[in-house]
């Protein structure tokens, strides 16, 4: 038996990856996480996998099973952009991922790992996934720094896995994020606010060049994300860092209107000041340059539009309290 490993498997993108593998008749999956959050663990209900391994025991488990491992999707990370304890990020993001890289390099295991668009900071160098700008990037928070520090370290390594790809996720949204609290997507927060109060509160713009609600993000539906991760591992194109967004920035105002529409509710939006603790680190624009991914996976790749993705998420999952 050969195993497919998914770290962060009880989390948002990780659990959707397990579902994607199941949908492609792959069930010999080893799910890796800390499994301490019962709300998060519900993401794995009704999914088929072969073994469950605590993240602290993973490297010991791999000592016996490396030869049976077909590939690793390393999606586990601390993703809280409001956490400022660098030691947590050093342990769970930077050093843990270094150990995964070394393991894959030593054992000849293909690896896809989660980088982040948070590495781009305020976008001084654009949003292109060229390797030559990685050293110069200035992330706005310790989470983004931990992701960029690994990318920098990784690019300096002479020993690599037989195939590897670091995926720079942009603003991913979709089912299985109930456990994320403040870090959940604006869609989930909007749905809750509309359900409870009939209105949505959005951050006011604190830059004159942006109208309220017109802060722009590259929003990508999680089903598109896991589809591309699966394709990457199947095709194994040129190793490298790859942006994973849609290539089309949309405004929070557009997103919120799509939630009202999906719920069949009248629009009611008010604006509030961006909290001071994140105001100076708040991104007003992100948009993935997708040239490299499209060149390597094929220009025929199709993404859900924001309206299509939001409607699917709201009507098929949030309104039903369901999971993907």
Q: How far apart are CA 108 and CA 104, in angstroms?
A: 5
11: Cβ–Cβ under 8 A, 6 or more apart, which residues? 33, 40, 43, 75, 76, 176, 179
End-to-end CA distance of the chain: 26
Token reading at 10: 């009880």
- Which residues contact residue 215 at a Cβ distance below 8 angstroms, ignoring those fewer than 6 apart? 203, 205, 251, 252, 282, 283, 284, 285
- 143 a catalytic residue: yes
Helices within the chain (DSSP H only): 12-23, 38-41, 58-65, 86-89, 96-107, 142-155, 186-197, 222-235, 252-263, 276-279, 291-297, 306-313
Alpha-carbon distances, residue 5 vs 103, 229, 284 (angstroms):
13, 13, 36
Specify whether the CB–CB gap between 171 and 252 falls below 8 A.
Answer: no
DSSP string, 107-145: HT--EEEEEEGGGGTT-TT-S---GGGGGG---SSHHHH
Place of tokens 């990318």: 151
User: Cβ distance 13 to 225 under 8 Å?
Assistant: yes
d(CA 221, CA 223): 5
Which residue among 152, 180, 199, 265 is the active-site one?
Answer: 180
User: Of the listed 143, 242, 313, 324, which one is catalytic?
Assistant: 143
Active site residues: 143, 180
């Amino acid at each position: 038996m050969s195993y497919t490993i998914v770290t962060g498997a009880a989390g948002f993108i990780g659990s959707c990856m397990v579902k994607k593998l199941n949908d492609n008749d792959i069930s010999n999956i080893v799910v890796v996480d800390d499994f301490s959050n019962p709300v998060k663990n519900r993401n794995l209900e009704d999914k088929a996998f072969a073994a469950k391994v605590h993240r602290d025991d993973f490297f010991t488990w791999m000592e016996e099973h490396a030869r049976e491992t077909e590939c690793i999707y390393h999606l586990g990370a601390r993703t809280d952009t409001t956490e400022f304890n660098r030691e947590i990020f050093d342990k769970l993001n930077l050093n843990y991922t270094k150990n995964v890289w070394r393991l894959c390099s030593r054992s000849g295991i293909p690896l896809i790992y989660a980088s982040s668009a948070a590495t781009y900071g305020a976008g001084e160098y654009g949003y292109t996934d060229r390797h030559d700008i990685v050293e110069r990037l200035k992330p706005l928070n310790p989470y983004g720094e931990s992701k960029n520090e690994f990318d920098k370290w990784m690019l300096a390594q002479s020993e690599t896995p037989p195939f590897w790809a670091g995926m720079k996720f942009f603003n991913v949204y979709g089912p299985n994020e109930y456990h994320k609290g403040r870090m959940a997507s604006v869609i989930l927060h909007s749905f809750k606010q509309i359900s409870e109060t009939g209105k949505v509160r959005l951050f006011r713009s604190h830059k004159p060049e942006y109208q309220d609600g017109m802060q722009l993000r590259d929003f990508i539906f999680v089903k598109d994300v896991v589809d591309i991760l699966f394709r990457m591992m199947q095709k194994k194109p040129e190793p490298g860092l790859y942006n994973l967004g849609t290539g089309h920035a949309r405004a929070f105002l557009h997103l919120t209107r799509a939630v009202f529409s999906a719920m069949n509710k009248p629009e009611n939006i008010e604006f509030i000041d961006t909290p001071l603790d994140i105001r100076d680190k708040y991104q007003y624009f992100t948009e993935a340059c997708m040239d490299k991914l499209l060149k390597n996976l094929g220009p025929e790749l199709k993404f859900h539009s924001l309206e299509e993705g939001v409607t699917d998420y709201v009507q098929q999952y949030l309104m039903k309290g369901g999971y993907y």
